[in-house]
Structure 1
C-alpha cells in the first residue's frame, strides 16, 4: 500500500472516529479500504477489554468471504474454566507473556500448530498471520481496558510483504485509537445506566450536570424493601449477604425495567423507582404490572434458592403518585441525579406501613384514584393511617385478597394487566 492511500485511510479513520462510527463499521471500512489500496487482507479481528458488570470485553470481525460468525461478539471472564484455557492457548496471551508487540506466523509452518486458532485459519485457506498488541499508558487505561489486540490474515502465499507490513504498522494504531474512542463512549453509557438508571443516565450524558438543575414532574413512585431484612442480615453468613441482596434486587429491577420504569436508587435492601409519561393512568398500570412481575420473579427465585438450601424472603411495595423535583442534587464535588420532594418521603412511609398491616402491597389514594374503573375493582381499602412525618392521615389500598385465594379472580386480574 503506497503512501497516498495510507494517508487517505488515516484521515478516514480519524474523521469517522470523531463522528462516532461504531466499531464494527470502523473495522469493515478499514479492511475494505485496505483491499482497495492494494493490501490483500482476508480477515481482520480487533479485540478490546471493557468496563462492564457482565462482559470482560468485545471483539469485532471482518472476513473476505461469507461465514457464520457474528461481526460483533462479547466475552465473559477469561480467568477460569474453558475460557481461561482457550485464552492461555491464544497467540495474544503468548505475546503478553513474552512481551511481544508483534507476531508473524506462516500458517504453513508446522510449529504454529501450538495455537489451535492458527490451525483453524490454515484450514480456511489463510496463509499468513500478523498480530499486534497496542498497549495503553496508565492514564489511558480504564478497568481492564489496557490495550487493543488485533490480528490480520492474508491468503497470499508470500504474505503481506514489507510494504504491506509497513502499512499495517502505520495504520493499525490509528484504527485502535478510533476503536478505543468508540469503546470509551460505550463505557460511559454503560456506567451511566448501571449507576444512575436509564433515563437519568441519558439526561446526564446530554449535558444536564449542573448543580441545582431540576425539573418538576409528575411521576408514579415505587418504593420496595425486603421483609425481615434486619433479622436476616444478623443471622446470615457475611459471604451470603451480597448475593442475597443481588438476587432480590435483580427480581425487582427486571420487573420495573420490563414495564418501562426507571430505577433511581438501591438503598440497602430498598429500591426507589419512577414511572413517567404523558398518560399517568398508563404509568400507574405499568407500575401494577411491574409489581405483579416482581412477585412472579420472586416466586421463581425463592424456588431456586430453596432448592439450594439458601435463605428466602419476600418484599413490601409502596406505590404513590405525586409531583417531584427530578434532577441534580448535591454539592459541587458529589451530585446525585434523583427525585426529591414530599411525595418521595410519602411513598417510603407507605412501604413501611406494609409491615404494620401485614400487606405486601399498599397504594395511596392518589395512585388508586387515577386508575380506570376496571383496575379500581381489584383494590380494597386497607384503612386510614397516620404516616410518620406526613401531616394528615392517608387512606391506603391493597389488592383484593381474593386475588390470592380465588383462581378465577386471579386470572381476571392477570388478564387485566395483560390487556
Structure 2
C-alpha cells in the first residue's frame, strides 16, 4: 500500500466521520478501500461499549465472502455472568486488556490459541488474525466507553506480516476516532430519549435548550398512577419496590409509545404523557387505544406476578385535552423539558378522582368532546365534580366496561 493510498483511506474515513456516517458504513467502506489498495482483509469487526439501559455495547461486522450476517449486533452485560461473560473472558480483546497490550497478531496455521471463535475461523479457512485496542484518555472516556476494539482476518497464506500490521497501525486510529464520534452521538440521542422522552429529546438535540423557550400547544394529556402504592411500599419487602415500579411503568410506557404518545415524566409511581396530532380527535383515539393495550398488559402482568408470589396492583389514569406550554423550565444550572399550565394540574386532579368514583379511567369533558362519535358512545357520565385547584366544576366520564 502506497503513502497516497494511506492518505486516501484516512481522508475518506475523516470525511465520512465528519458527515455523520453510521458505524456500519465506516467499517464496510474502510475494509473495501483497504482491499482495493492491496491489504487482503477477509473480515473486520469493530466493537465499542456504550451507555444504554439494556446493552453494554455494539459490534459492527464486515465479511468479504458475501456470507449473510447482521452488520450490527448489540451485546448485553458481560459482567453479569453466563455464556456471554464466558465468551468475553475467552476473547483476545479481554486478553489484551488483562495484559495491558495494544495489539495481537497470529498465524492460525502455525500457532494455536484458545481464544473464542479462533477454532471456528480456522475451520473457515482464515489464516491470519490481528486484534487491536485503541484506548481513550480518562478525559476522553464516557462511562464504560473507554476504548475501541477491533479485529481483522485474512486468507493470505502468510497471514499478516509486519508490513500489513504497520499499515493497520497507521489507518486504524482514524477509524477508531470516527467510530467513537458516531457512537457518542448515538449515546447522546439514547440518553436524552430515555431521560427526557422521545419528542423532548429530539427537541433538545436540535438546539432547543434556551431557558424559558416554550411552545404553546393543545395536546392530549395522560396521567396514570398505581393504586395502593403507599400501602404496598409499607408492607412489601424493600427489594420488591423497584421491580414493581419497573414492571408497571414498562406496561404504561409501552402502551403509550405503541400509539405515538410521548412520556415526559416518571414521578415515583406516576406517569405523565402527551399525545400530539394536528387532528385532536386522532390524538384522542391514540390515547384510547393505549388505554386498551395497557389494560391487556396489566392483566397479563398481574397473572405473572401472582404466579411468582409477588405483590400486584392496578393502574388508574386521567385523560384530558388542553393548552399547555411545552419547553425548558428551571434555573440556569438545571432545566427540565416538560409541559406546564393549568391543564397539567387538571389532568392530575382528574386522575385522583379514580379513587373517589372507583373507576380505572376518568375522562374530562374536553377529552370526551374531542373524541370521534363512535368513541364518544363508549363513554358514560360520572356526574359533575369540583376538582381541587380547578376553578369550575365539570362533568367527568369513564369508559363503559361493557363496550
Mark yes or no: TM-score above 0.5: yes
2:194 and 2:58 map into 1 onto residues whose CA distance is 18
Q: Trace 1:122-201 onto structure 2 (pairs within 5 A).
A: 122-201=122-201
SS in 2 for 1:111: coil
Deviation at 1:200, TM superposition (A): 0.4
Deviation at 1:322, TM superposition (A): 0.3
Q: Trace 1:366-377 onto structure 2 (pairs within 5 A).
A: 366-377=366-377
Q: Corresponding residue for 1:22?
A: 22
SS in 2 for 1:286: helix
Does the 8 Å contact 1:318/1:362 carry over to 2?
Answer: yes
1:233 and 1:292 map into 2 onto residues whose CA distance is 27
Q: Corresponding residue for 1:81?
A: 82
1:60 and 1:336 map into 2 onto residues whose CA distance is 35
Deviation at 1:352, TM superposition (A): 0.4
2:138 and 2:388 map into 1 onto residues whose CA distance is 51
* Greater helix share, structure number: 1
SS in 2 for 1:328: strand
Q: Does 1:349 align with 2:346?
A: no
Aligned residues: 402
2:294 and 2:83 map into 1 onto residues whose CA distance is 34
1:161 and 1:286 map into 2 onto residues whose CA distance is 61
Q: Corresponding residue for 1:95?
A: 96
Q: Corresponding residue for 2:106?
A: 105
Does the 8 Å contact 1:39/1:160 carry over to 2?
Answer: no
1:225 and 1:345 map into 2 onto residues whose CA distance is 14
2:289 and 2:316 map into 1 onto residues whose CA distance is 15
2:124 and 2:112 map into 1 onto residues whose CA distance is 18
Given the two structures, how large is their TM-score scaled by the length of structure 1? 0.95
Does the 8 Å contact 2:107/2:160 carry over to 1?
Answer: no
1:98 and 1:134 map into 2 onto residues whose CA distance is 14
2:315 and 2:29 map into 1 onto residues whose CA distance is 51
Show CA shifts across 1:61-84 (max 9, x none): 111102232111110011211111
Show CA shifts across 1:180-209 (max 9, x none): 000001001100110000000111111000
1:303 and 1:196 map into 2 onto residues whose CA distance is 31
2:343 and 2:375 map into 1 onto residues whose CA distance is 22
SS in 1 for 2:112: helix
Q: Corresponding residue for 1:208?
A: 208
Q: Corresponding residue for 2:290?
A: 290
Deviation at 1:324, TM superposition (A): 0.2
Q: Trace 1:46-65 onto structure 2 (pairs within 5 A).
A: 46-65=46-65
Deviation at 1:163, TM superposition (A): 2.2
Q: Which moved more, 1:4-13 or 1:339-348?
A: 4-13
Q: Corresponding residue for 1:243?
A: 243
Q: Trace 1:213-292 onto structure 2 (pairs within 5 A).
A: 213-292=213-292
Show CA shifts across 1:358-388 (max 9, x none): 1110000000011122111111111111111
Deviation at 1:26, TM superposition (A): 0.2
Deviation at 1:302, TM superposition (A): 0.5
1:137 and 1:257 map into 2 onto residues whose CA distance is 38
Show CA shifts across 1:210-251 (max 9, x none): 000001000000000000001111111111111100000000
Does the 8 Å contact 1:40/1:160 carry over to 2?
Answer: no
SS in 1 for 2:310: coil
2:124 and 2:256 map into 1 onto residues whose CA distance is 47
SS in 2 for 1:318: strand
2:309 and 2:208 map into 1 onto residues whose CA distance is 46
Q: CA RMSD in A?
A: 0.9
Q: Corresponding residue for 1:412?
A: none
Does the 8 Å contact 2:129/2:160 carry over to 1?
Answer: no
1:110 and 1:197 map into 2 onto residues whose CA distance is 52
Q: Corresponding residue for 2:361?
A: 361
Q: Which moved more, 1:317-326 or 1:150-159?
A: 150-159
Deviation at 1:110, TM superposition (A): 4.4
